[in-house]
Structure formats: structure tokens, C-alpha cells
Structure 1
């Protein structure tokens, strides 16, 4: 028989493993995610903002169009995701859905965690939002082959209060939930009424425009394009921004902002 002190320590460690949904054992507010679900689910709802700060930039002779991106949760429930590293260094990502009575449901997903060692220096959920550039024809319809953004993924947290009439005044989720390179457990989330924002000057906020002809273009922003996560509706998962691409006599490229698509309400 194990000495009582060791046995108690092992039991405490087992409790921590069961409540691995919290960032640390004890967890405070996070402890509610470990209870059995009662009632009806409170689902998040992803709504991207049209890409902003559209401009061109040349790096090492190549031209890109850069933009800022923002995703808002306009649902009744948190987007809450936990990720746990396995012995083979792969990750299991789970969407945790809170219920209005108590507790939460935990749904394994096909989402991937990727290391953002490009200046972000934390873990991301791969391709959580994707950006696609198309040319527009004479009827303002997307045409031809698409080009996509360079972004590897998103560290999801309550970056700023969104311009919507909902949600708490203070954030619930912080950047630390995205962990460090040696982390084995991550907690990412986006509260109702809060936005996850990436500025145009961060790595990956760009699309290659080399060899594109001058003309009219559209960038689509699409949240959860592969429908990996549960949410209230998919009807508001897409928006867009138009711009005119032009060149001067020296070969410099310019982007003039045009129409924009729907924004979260």
C-alpha cells in the first residue's frame, strides 16, 4: 500500500487530469466546463468583419496585398476550445460547449494546432479563418483562379470588445491560453460580443499579387470554412472587400478600396 501522502498526491493529480479543461488545477471560472451538461447548449456564432487596411507592399521584389482581419462571436455562448498534446506530439482539439443549466459538452474535432514560430511565438488553430482573392468580371462576379493568404492559423482570444450590443465588458480569454512552444495543454476562446483581431503588419496577413493584371478584385473572409466547429448558424460566416489594383509607370502597385460586405451586428 502506498503511503498516505503519496496516495493523496496521486489522487489530486488524477482530479487535475479530469478537470484538464481548466488552465490549472482548481481553475476558478474554468471549473464549470468540467461538469456534466444540463439544459440546452449555448453555441458561439462566428461572424468575420470585412478585411480592412487594404494596401500593397513589396518585399524582395514580390508584391502582396496586406489587410487587417477581425472575427467576432455574436452567439449566445463562448467559443471554447481545449487542446492536449499526445505522446506522439500530435494534438487533440476539443470544442467545449456550455449548457444553460450547467456544465458542458466536449466534442473532439478535426482541427489542428500549429506552432506560430514566425513572430507570433505561440500555438494557433490552423486555418480558423481563410482569405481568398478573386478577380471580378464585368458583372462584379468572382472569376478565375483564387489566391489565398499566407496565414497559418489563429491564437484565439478576447482581443477587443466588438462594436455589437452584447457581451460582458471585460475579457474572459487571454493570449496566454495559446501557450508556449513547450506547452502540452491549451485553452483558447472567444466570448460573446468580443473580437479576435490581427493587424495588417503581423506575419501572414497578406496575399501574393505578383503577375496579377490591373483591375477589380475581391477578398473573401470565410470563418470555419470546413465546418469543423459547432455554432448557431453558418449563414454569416462569409464577408468580403473589393479593391482596384493598379500600377504606375515604375511598376509600383496600388490598391484602392471599393465596396465591402456585411459586418457583424
Structure 2
């Protein structure tokens, strides 16, 4: 994050008051020409992002303190024409207002206040996250391969959204625009997160929250759904590709160890 030496220290009461007074100043004053385009009045048509999750991968089981979980890696791709660009500003009461900034093809941007929440990820991530940006639900499959019974859901706090790696789609620039610095530090009062067209936000299976509890589940066939923006708090081109899945078979050996054998997978971003 940048800091103007002429401004009060980040996190001070004066800084928060200035932040609350002018969204435009925050958007344009920190990144020069790169951020100025988000501060101009919108002209033309909106260039929207489009969230498309990759089927969960690296499926395996793990026992922690006697409890079994299924762990997995997750990836979300932006396959839209426009950036996903979000800014968050801390208010005087320490709550956050998170805004989606939507670029237009004739220049400028629209700033849409959302119901999304910024949450602190102090579990080894040590930066701010967008809460429940993607969720994962585990269901049993019946003999016909249909989802049945109640869901079990992951407990992931949220996502620091940035251009982690190029996706396997023919779209966008070869150079990243957003990095993890935009997710800030604990005393940050302004955040900028984003995902460029053709770029992926990836979380490896061994990071906190990349798991679902499976204690008490019988051996059998299961499906994990990955659902992007389940609460529809962001604007995008379409929601028809916001869901994908992976199947696996859960088994146990005589010693009580549990195993996951990968099965079919759902659609990938295209």
C-alpha cells in the first residue's frame, strides 16, 4: 500500500475522516495514472468481471486432533471483459465499506457499494480478506449419482483477492495488475483487491480453511461444490458459470484410516 508523507499516519482518526470524505481521492491519489482511471466519470458500457471457479483439486484426507477432514486446493478465474476491482475503506466505528469499481469501455468507472464484508485473516495469512467470496459444500451422492442429504460446508474465513497466476484461458494481459499487498496489514484503513481478466486467484490445500469436516460420514460417494459469490453481492457478466464440482469416493481401512479417491469433475473456466 502507498503512503503520502504529507498525510497523517495510517490508522489515525484524521486519516479515517479524510478517507470517509472522498472515495475519488482514495482511488486516484495512490496509484497515479494506473488508479486515476477508476476516479473518472463512466462513459459508454460497463466492462464486467465474470467469476468462474475451477473444480477443487488435490483431494485428500487428513486427521487433526482425532478429527478427519477432506482437504483441497481451490482456484477462481476471471473470464470477463473487465477487471474485478474492489476497494474497502474502514469507517470511524471500525466497520468496512466495500465498493466494487466497474470500468467502462469509454473511460471512467462506476462505484457500487456492496454488502460484502472485509475480515481480518490472522490465521497465518496476516492480511484482510473478502468474507466468503467462494464457498464449498459437500454432499453425499445416492446410487443414481444424485446429490442427497444435508450439506457440510467449509469454514474458510475469506479470500485475499489478487492476480496469483495466469489461468488456462486465452484472455487478458500476460502481466499481473494486482498483488497481495492490496490486502493490507492489520492497521490498514484502505484496501485495493482485484482480479484481472485471464488471471486466477489460487489457494493451496495446505492453507487454513481449505477443508471440510468428514467425521461421522459413512464410506461412499460424495461431491464438493465450489460456488463463487453465492450471496450475489458483486456485479458480473453472468452467474451461470459460478458453480463447479468434484466427486470422490470416501473409504476406510480396518485401522480406521480414511481415504479419498478422485472421481468425475465439473466444468472448468473457458
Runs of 4+ with >2 A deviation: 13-19, 24-28
In 1, distance between residues paired with 2:123 and 2:83?
Answer: 28
Out of 154, 159, 176, which is 1:154 matched to? 159
- Output the TM-score relative to the length of structure 1: 0.93
Q: Offset of 1:26 from its aligned partner?
A: 5.1
Instruction: Report the equivalent of 1:9.
Output: none
Instruction: Report the equivalent of 2:34.
Output: 29
Q: Offset of 1:21 from its aligned partner?
A: 1.9
Out of 20, 41, 44, which is 1:39 matched to? 44
Instruction: Report the equivalent of 2:10.
Output: none
In 2, distance between residues paired with 1:243 and 1:100?
Answer: 43
Residue 137 (1) aligns with residue 142 (2) = yes
Residue 214 (1) aligns with residue 219 (2) = yes
Q: Which sections of structure 1, spanning at least 5 residues, go unmatched?
A: 1-5, 7-12
In 2, distance between residues paired with 1:31 and 1:199?
Answer: 34
- Output the TM-score relative to the length of structure 2: 0.91
Q: How many residues align?
A: 254
Superposed CA RMSD: 1.7
Instruction: Report the equivalent of 2:69.
Output: 64
Q: Offset of 1:62 from its aligned partner?
A: 0.4
Instruction: Report the equivalent of 1:20.
Output: 26
What do residues 146-194 of structure 1 show as CA deviations (whole Å, max 9, x unaligned)? 0001201000000000000111000000000000000000000000000
Instruction: Report the equivalent of 1:93.
Output: 98
What do residues 41-90 of structure 1 show as CA deviations (whole Å, max 9, x unaligned)? 00000000000000000000000000000000000000000000000000
Q: Which sections of structure 2, spanning at least 5 residues, go unmatched?
A: 1-5, 7-17
Aligned-partner SS, 2:111 = strand
What do residues 117-168 of structure 1 show as CA deviations (whole Å, max 9, x unaligned)? 0000000000000000000011111111100012010000000000001110
Instruction: Report the equivalent of 1:229.
Output: 234
In 1, distance between residues paired with 2:25 and 2:107?
Answer: 15
Q: Offset of 1:17 from its aligned partner?
A: 5.8
Q: Offset of 1:18 from its aligned partner?
A: 3.0
Query: Which protein shows a greater Rg?
Result: 1
CA contact (8 A) 1:19 1:31 kept: no
Matching of residues 182-261 of structure 1 within 5 Å: 182-261=187-266
In 1, distance between residues paired with 2:203 and 2:150?
Answer: 26
